[in-house]
Structure 1
Amino acid sequence: MPRISADTVAQHRANRLRALLDAGRDLVTESGPDALTLAALARRVGLSRPSLYEYFRSREELVAAIVTDELPEWARHLERAVAAAHGVPAKIEAYLRAELGVITDGSHSAVVALSAHALPDASRELIRTEHERLLSPLIAVLEDAQVDDPRLRALFVHGMVEAAARTIVPGRDDHNEAVMTALVDQVLHGVARTTG
């Protein structure tokens, strides 16, 4: 019988699952989505393939688990950032900074790459639902500001954040802050025109 490394079997399984998800994400970040196989993951964490099958029956199940594990934490991060700010402009800026941080931190690109792979319909639906939740804090701010069609405008803002993320250069803090400032100015200017 395998050695239990926690107080309970349930906690041991939860710890092992967390280690598997983290190791899978690391494999994708380091070597791309094609590097994520059950065999590679088993080698990375030192488990036999049959032991790994207790957690994931297929690569698709593993991919779906990694993607759906990451999105709720991103949503909570965005919610906390917006909740900590006061006033519409500050809340929008907090959202933009938090979302840009999520997009440029490395794990986001791994999750996006994995999302492009063939997944079961149920997994795709869960991913869509969680991805929608990422926009919720911004939609709420825009609703409070009485902006017309807040969901559509939040989607536009999200597109601007993704465009800004493509111009971020690691280690170039002055450049990156200029990008952030331009993004905030652009978004707030657009919001001001629609509410004024």
Structure 2
Amino acid sequence: MAVAEDGARRRRRQPADARREILDAATELLAGTPPHEVTVAAIMARTTLSRKSFYVYFHDRAELVAALVQPLRAEADAGLARWAAAPDPVVSGRAALRAAAGTYRRHGAILRVVFWAATGDPDIRRVRDDLTAALVDVATAKVAQADAGLPDPHATAVALATMNIHRLLAMSADTTDAELDEIVETLATIWERTLGLAPH
């Protein structure tokens, strides 16, 4: 047993267990705390580890956020892969959007840190850019395929993807299924009409 700075007894952990404990503490803190208050000190206060232990497992807060986002990235990439490969852009697009909305509802606290803290933190900005790059790439291909007379498929894709992200970030964990479906319907209709895939 080790003695922490505050005198509390702290248990020694296997490296994987200690890392998991830090990630779990950060997740719990993010669920009810404004992003700017999610500091290393605040995270470690929720663990049985000393504050300096944080830097054994993570270089900085941005690396921690990247680790939290990793499972979400796997979810997002799976949905995007289905959308990219599907022959029907409307049906597959709505399914991908519904899946993304579910991810944002479940993990909004983490995603808000990524997007809101990115402005002032270049490391977190890289996490954000990595998270959104795949969406923009697939969307650019879909815009180009739609041949709707839009002057720049990439710029259009960025605009539409940004709209999705900011609308979905505004959801809370208690957003109902009916509210989520209404959000998806609105966003999908904007995409479809912009790309000429649905009647005006």
TM-score by length of 1: 0.70
**How far 1:46 sits from its partner (Å)?**
0.9
- Match of residue 68 from structure 1: 66
- Match of residue 31 from structure 1: 33
What runs of 5+ residues in structure 1 fail to find an aligned partner? 6-11
CA separation of 1:167/1:50 partners in 2, compared to 1, >3 Å: closer, same or farther? closer
- Match of residue 47 from structure 1: 49
Which digits, 9 at most, give the CA deviation of each residue in 1:106-164, with x for residues without a partner?
23223334434x43x45544543343234333334334445653322221222332454
Which digits, 9 at most, give the CA deviation of each residue in 1:14-72, with x for residues without a partner?
44223312322321321212432333222211111232332346xxx12x123322444
CA contact (8 A) 2:22 2:43 kept: yes
- Match of residue 173 from structure 1: 177
**How far 1:188 sits from its partner (Å)?**
0.8
Identity %: 22
- Match of residue 182 from structure 1: 186
Aligned ranges 1:1-196 → 2 under 5 Å: 12-56=14-58, 61-62=60-61, 64-84=62-82, 86=86, 87-105=88-106, 106-107=108-109, 108-116=111-119, 118-119=120-121, 121=122, 124-145=125-146, 148=150, 149-162=152-165, 164-165=167-168, 168=171, 170-192=174-196
**How far 1:180 sits from its partner (Å)?**
1.8
- 2: CA distance between counterparts of 1:171 and 1:68? 25
TM-score by length of 2: 0.69
Amino acid paired to 2:94:
E
- 2: CA distance between counterparts of 1:102 and 1:141? 22
Which digits, 9 at most, give the CA deviation of each residue in 1:65-110, with x for residues without a partner?
2332244443432331233453211232123223333333323223
CA separation of 1:171/1:53 partners in 2, compared to 1, >3 Å: closer, same or farther? closer
CA contact (8 A) 2:23 2:68 kept: no
CA contact (8 A) 1:89 1:188 kept: yes
CA contact (8 A) 2:160 2:191 kept: yes
Amino acid paired to 2:134:
R
CA contact (8 A) 1:17 1:55 kept: yes
Amino acid paired to 2:185:
T
Amino acid paired to 2:15:
R
Q: How many residues align?
A: 182
